Amino acid sequence: MKSRTLFQKIWDNHVVTQEKGAPVLLYIDAHILHEVTTPQAFANLRKKGLKVRRAGLTFATCDHNVSTIDQHNIRDAISRLQVETLYKNCHDFGIPLYGLDSPYQGIVHVIGPELGITQPGMTIVCGDSHTSTHGAFGNLSFGIGTTEVEYVLATQCLLQNPMKTMKIIIDGKLGKGVSAKDIILTVISKIGTKGGVGYCIEYTGETIKELNMEERMTICNMSIEAGARAGMIAPDDITFNYLKGRKFSPKGKKWDGAVKYWKTLKSDKDAKYDNVIKIDAGKIAPLITWGTDPSTGITTKEKIPNPKYAKSENERKNMERALSYMDLKPGMKLEGFPINYVFIGSCTNARLSDLREASKIIKGRKVKNGVNAWVVPGSRQVKLAAEKEGLDKIFKDAGFDWRWSGCSACIAMNDDKIPAGKYCISTSNRNYEGRQGPGARTFLASPIMAAAAAIEGKIVDVRKYL
């Protein structure tokens, strides 16, 4: 048989049929829903008199609109209606819901893996671009629009053309203070925000193999920020150990059978990719973005680039626009630049290990006067586990707000917004204009970089704390 990539193996295993001249009819193994991108899909099901084909493969939670201060009290009436609409839809169509009264509530891309829904070899979709996160388990996961949500609810299938494949090999030893976030920010700065358009990226290499599942999720999560719809990492013992004993993981004999199959899920040695990129992990440093797209990561000591030297007219305009929005000047270094807000949260960096690492920097120190610092755990389970370890106390003692789980200031659809003109160092994934609130200015960085900035009230290289 022809050598195949991991992507091709998973793809082939989900082809229901393909007619000449038509895309592949692809079967979907798991479908995760949240309140924002699903109401119109259910409305159409009702209008057309359709049922949900596999309610047992469909899972829902609410995260985007949720208040992180008082979860049961969503003050905004329209937000509340959206959450209530999800409740009603799940109830009417028999879909399991991990809502505000559930100990499993949380950000879609945090609870999927946590509950063991996310497994190797699957196809997983969600009306959310960061669905790429789940690919960390060696599966094909990608974000879809609301019309596609409707199709999957009704048929458990999608019409798809295969993606191109890109292999990103990361070898070498990571330096002190360099985290998964810095790896993916480096990847994005290398290939650009559209370098991955049309691709499924497979991350591989010695560095990746040594990362834990949460770090792998951080990397796959931001594949979309390079334009790729999907990212994946071949499953291994680290993956299997993570999954063992989780709520929806296979049990007993089924577990053994599953692991046997999962072990076959890797790219063949001479499999062909459409693109191959190599990155030396030893050269990666803690990064922070200066601009309004995630490809603008630089070290704190590097100078903000000058639009004068842009490679093209268009790039020059983009840079000027970003500098003006961020109110920064070319040639400046970010080291020492004052910040107003610190947000440790989101589906990129709000899992237990993220909070643990940040807490090590925070422990015994205080948040700088005048800085608003929030920790928003990615799920109720993360919050609970962190509290068991006393992490909440470390953060609270330092002056952080310790919140309930939700998307929070990653998207500012809820009460958590960064005010216009203010600077926020954020562990989330998007620094677009207005993403954290109209006029808000975002610096993307790792949890430990955010923690160090909280203490000093300005951007610093976290390595001085290590």
Partner 1 sequence: MKKFTKIASTCLPIETENIDTDQIVPARFLKITTREGFGKYLFYDWRFDKNGKPKENKYFDYSNNRSIKILVAGNNFGCGSSREHAVWALQDFGFETIISSSFGDIFYNNCLKNALLPVVLKPVELNKLFKILEKNSKTKITIDLIDQEVIVGDNYIFSFPIDNFRKTCLLKGVDELGYIFSHEKNISAFERRHQIFISR
**Site track for ligand SF4 across 312-351, x = CB under 6 A:** ----------------------------------xx----
CA angle 82, 60, 159 (to 5 degrees): 100
Partner from ligand SF4, partner 1, none contacting 419, C-beta within 5 to 8 A by type:
none
Q: How far is the CB of 433 from partner 1 (least distance, A)?
A: 6
Strand partners, 25: 17, 159
Query: Out of partner 1, ligand SF4, none, which partner does residue 32 contact, by CB within 5 to 8 A per kind?
Result: none
Alpha carbons 410 and 417: distance in angstroms, whole number = 9
Site for partner 1 in 25-44 (CB under 8 A): 25, 27, 29-30, 36-37, 39-40, 43
Of 287, 325, 288, 331, which Cα lies nearest the Cα of 307?
A: 331
Stretch binding ligand SF4 (CB under 6 A), from 71-79, 104-112, 260-268, 278-286: 104-112
Of residues 224 through 253, those in contact with partner 1 by CB under 8 A are 224, 227, 229, 247-251
CB of 76 to partner 1, least distance (A): 7
Q: Are 53 and 60 in contact (CB under 8 A)?
A: no
With CB cut-offs between 5 and 8 Å by kind, which of partner 1, ligand SF4, none does residue 21 bind?
partner 1
Nearer to ligand SF4, 235 or 378 (CB): 378
Out of 129, 207, 300, 359, name the contact with partner 1 by CB under 8 A.
Answer: 129
Which H, E and C letters describe 176-226, residue by residue? Answer: CCCCHHHHHHHHHHHHCCCCCCCEEEEEECHHHHCCCHHHHHHHHHHHHHH
Determine the straight-line distance between the first and last CA of the chain, rounded to whole angstroms. 50
Instruction: Look up tokens 């201060």; give the residue.
Output: 69
Least CB distance to partner 1 at residue 407 (A): 9
Minimum distance between the CB of residue 248 and partner 1, rounded to whole angstroms? 5
Q: Which position among 21, 49, 364, 370 is part of the footprint of partner 1 (CB under 8 A)?
A: 21
**What sign does the dihedral 68-69-73-75 (CA atoms) show?**
negative
Pair 363, 452: CB distance under 8 Å = no
Segment near ligand SF4 (CB under 6 A); pick from 53-61, 351-359, 405-413, 449-457: 405-413
Would you tell me how many other CB atoms lie within 10 Å of the CB of residue 47?
8
Residues near ligand SF4 (CB under 6 A): 63-64, 107-109, 128, 130, 346-347, 407, 410-411, 428-429
